[in-house]
Chain A
Amino acid sequence: MLIITRKNGQKIMINDDIEITIVESRNGTCKVAIQAPRSFKIYREEIYVQIKLANLMGQESSTDSLDQASNLISKNKTSLNDAVVRTDSDDEIVVNDKKPFKTRVFVKKQQKPND
């Protein structure tokens, strides 16, 4: 592992296209600015670890437990959080592109006909 000491305002270059600037460092806290191509994924480590752990737990679900959970929903013994929407059709996704540089997606439930 490479360890480099930098002063406030100084930079580190990685390859030709990643620039890391120490913006401010005091009292054990360091503010870092990272300039990198948008294709690079940059995360705080704790969030990355959290998702990794969630994924790991996600692949341990068994078919039995899923059947039970699905039965819980279909028998309506308990409701999906704030919703009891079940539909045979595909998810409806509505999008607008108002925000620059981003695709905004609304995941909407299917409108139920009034009965």
Chain B
Amino acid sequence: MKINTTRFGEVEVNEDAIFEFVLPMIGYEKEDKFILIDHSKNSPFKWLQSVNSPELAFVMTSAIYFEFEYVIDIPDSTVEKLQIDSTEDILVMNIAVIPNSNPRAARVNLLAPVILNTAKKTAGQIILSGSGYDVNFPIFKDNV
């Protein structure tokens, strides 16, 4: 199917590439369908593009790019809602904020990761209350 996007024009995607957000992005409760778009080869970023709203897209990255171990507990209720059968199906991504004026000030939200079930194509944003993770973690060292 074809998806209209503000940033990438018309994008052709397979139906099975669409993630159903059974736990919506907080503040975007009406947005239930997103796709992941690669930024470019070797880029640590991906776009999470809304299927229904052309202008809505988040920059995503992964904690694999950080030296420390990012350990999260996914609540049972989330496992149920996302129909996670195998832990191998879980993809954990975090939203990055990259200021237009100053990309070096880029930050990533470690407190509220997006959990994607790559097998069932379900997804959701969870808040790791009490984890101590930073909502505005600086990506670049020289801009702490």
Contacts and interface: CB of A to CB of B under 8 A. Distances in A.
Interface of A: 38-39, 41, 43-44, 47-48, 50-52, 54-70, 72-74, 78-83, 85-88, 90-93, 95, 97, 99, 101-110
Contact of B103 (A43, A51, A56, A72): A72
A54 B92 CA distance: 17
B72 to A, nearest CB: 5
Nearest to A110: B64
B73 A106 contact: no
A13 B138 CA distance: 43
Given A54-B109, A93-B90, A95-B87, A48 B26 contact: yes
Contact of A93 (B65, B73, B79, B88): B88
Given A93-B87, A108-B69, A38 B75 contact: yes
Contact of A86 (B44, B66, B98): B44
A101 B67 contact: no
A50 B107 CA distance: 14
A66 B26 contact: no
Given A93-B91, A107-B64, A54 B135 contact: yes
Contacts of A60: 97, 100
B27 A52 contact: yes
Contacts of B64: 85, 87, 91-92, 107-110
A60 B40 CA distance: 19
Contact of A52 (B7, B26, B81): B26
Given A43-B127, A59-B56, A93 B138 contact: no
Contacts of A63: 7
B98 A80 contact: no
Interface in B81-105: 81, 84, 87-88, 90-92, 95-100, 103-104
B76 A80 contact: no
Nearest to B91: A91
A47 B132 CA distance: 12
Interface string B14-39: 00000000010111100000000001
Contacts of B136: 54
A57 B135 CA distance: 12
Given A70-B43, A72-B104, A81-B137, A105 B28 contact: no
